[in-house]
Amino acid sequence: MQKQLTFNVAGIITRSPRLETVIMVELFIKENTGQFKKTELFQRLPKKMMWGTFNVILEYLWNNNKIGIDKNGYIVYIWSPEAGKLFIDKKRY
């Protein structure tokens, strides 16, 4: 069962992230899938950013089904291009 992430982007100062920052966070999560919880992940990123910006990025990745959270609170990368191709190639009625 997947837990719900809380982003709280309305309650904190947020900034729109640059594309390179979104990609950096996504790749870091992909390379370290299931190793860190939200705060740990934020602290270990290769490039520092504001907490609000980090939450905007996580919300984007969550809404696009690229990340999930396990029952212990660890963030995992769940996007699979191979699975996506299977759905794209399916016959539609």
Sequence spans of domains, the chain = 19-89
The class that CATH gives domain 19-89 is: mainly alpha
Q: What is the CB-side half-sphere exposure of residue 48 using CA atoms within 13 A? A: 1
Share of the chain above pLDDT 90, in %: 54
Average confidence score pLDDT of the chain: 85
pTM above 0.85, yes or no: no
Per-residue model confidence (pLDDT) at position 82: 77
State CA 30 to chain mean position distance: 9
